[in-house]
């Protein structure tokens, strides 16, 4: 097997636990709203996205380049054919290809704001509608939107940040042993991809089974009024706008509970979920670091308890 044909296994990625968890939660519940991954170059962002897709049979990664035009993204209607033949002819775009898969946008902060709006609208509704000259066409477009970005190259508008279900910030490992392991595994993968994949075959299979079980468990999870109350308290305390955060917080906590094998949503699940749901929605001053917002969040969570 050639290195260019192989995908680095998800279970072999060293560290970056919050990013890996966010991706897995979206596989468990594709309606969470996707995830925005922010961090410097070389922190396994793209590797993790491609690797996550390998865990669920039938799920692929559809790449959306930052240079993509609106027609390439949403598709086009052949107006001349419609007028001449009296029937619609639709040329599918990336949103059609992404149905049932992961739609991945690297450097999403460099994408035209209008295209980002289109992506987020389709991700929220599960439907893409194309309208041209009074003719319209709709098709299913249920995908997991994953965007990655380097903040040094620009930021996303606050209104767009809020539309992403989860947010995580990643950085390079700071411990020597972990960095050594990153090097060791990458060199082994490049030297013999087939042998490397075989080493992680059992771990990959176990993780896939865990995700499938979590999907089944999610449907039967129950939550208490105390959990709903705590979710509302957290959002109010963190001064986030609207109610999207409250709903996403509970849904993410439910996915976490299912992933951890729990039968009910617990306070710990809500606290862990808050670390991915709220940082990009919190009031912040320009250039405020995400880790500072997380520290504020942790302090607030420590004071809040359901009545």
Q: How far apart are CA 173 and CA 293, in angstroms?
A: 20
Catalytic site includes residue 260: no
| Strand 76-77 relative to strand 166-170, pairing | unpaired
CB atoms near residue 67 (< 10 Å): 9
Report the phi/psi class of residue 234: left, alpha or beta, with left for phi > 0 and alpha for psi in -120 to 50: alpha
Q: Look up residue 210 and give its two tokens.
A: 């865990």
- At 77, is the secondary structure helix, strand, or coil? strand
- Residue among 65, 23, 284, 22 at smallest CA distance from 155: 284
Q: Are 269 and 256 in contact (CB under 8 A)?
A: yes
- Residue among 248, 245, 234, 243 at smallest CA distance from 281: 245
- Show Cβ contacts of residue 53 under 8 Å, excluding neighbours closer than 6 positions: 7, 59, 60, 61, 101, 102
Rg of the chain in Å (alpha carbons) = 21
Q: How far apart are CA 292 and CA 284, in angstroms?
A: 10
Q: What is the CA angle 182-185-186, rounded to 5?
A: 80
Per annotation, catalytic residue among 142, 244, 260, 284: 244
Residues identified as active-site: 244
């Amino acid at each position: 097997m050639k290195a260019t044909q192989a995908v680095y296994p998800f279970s072999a990625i060293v560290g970056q636990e919050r990013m890996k968890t966010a991706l897995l939660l979206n596989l468990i519940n594709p309606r969470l709203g996707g995830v925005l991954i922010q961090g410097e170059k070389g922190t396994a962002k793209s590797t993790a996205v491609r690797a996550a897709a390998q865990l669920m049979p039938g799920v692929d990664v559809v790449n959306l380049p930052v240079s993509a035009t609106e027609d390439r993204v949403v598709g086009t209607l052949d107006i001349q054919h419609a007028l001449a033949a009296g029937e619609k002819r639709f040329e599918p775009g990336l949103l059609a290809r992404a149905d049932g898969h992961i739609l991945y946008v690297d450097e999403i902060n460099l994408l035209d704001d209008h295209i980002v709006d289109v992506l987020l609208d389709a991700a929220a509704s599960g439907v893409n509608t194309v309208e041209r000259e009074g003719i319209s066409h709709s098709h299913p477009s249920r995908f997991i939107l994953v965007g990655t970005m380097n903040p040094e190259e620009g930021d996303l508008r606050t209104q767009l940040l809020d539309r992403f279900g989860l947010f995580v910030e990643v950085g390079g490992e700071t411990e020597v042993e972990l960095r050594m392991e990153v090097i060791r595994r990458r060199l082994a993968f490049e030297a013999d991809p087939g042998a490397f994949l075989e080493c992680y075959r059992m771990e990959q299979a176990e993780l896939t089974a865990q995700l499938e079980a979590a999907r089944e468990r999610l449907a039967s999870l129950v939550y208490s009024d105390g959990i709903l109350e705590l979710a509302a308290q957290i959002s109010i305390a963190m001064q986030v706008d609207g109610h999207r955060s409250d709903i996403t917080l509970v849904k993410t906590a439910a996915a976490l509970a299912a992933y951890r094998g729990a039968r009910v949503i617990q306070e710990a699940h809500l606290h862990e979920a808050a670390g991915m749901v709220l940082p990009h929605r919190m009031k912040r001053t320009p250039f405020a670091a995400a880790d500072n917002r997380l520290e504020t969040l942790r302090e607030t969570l420590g004071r809040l308890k359901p009545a």
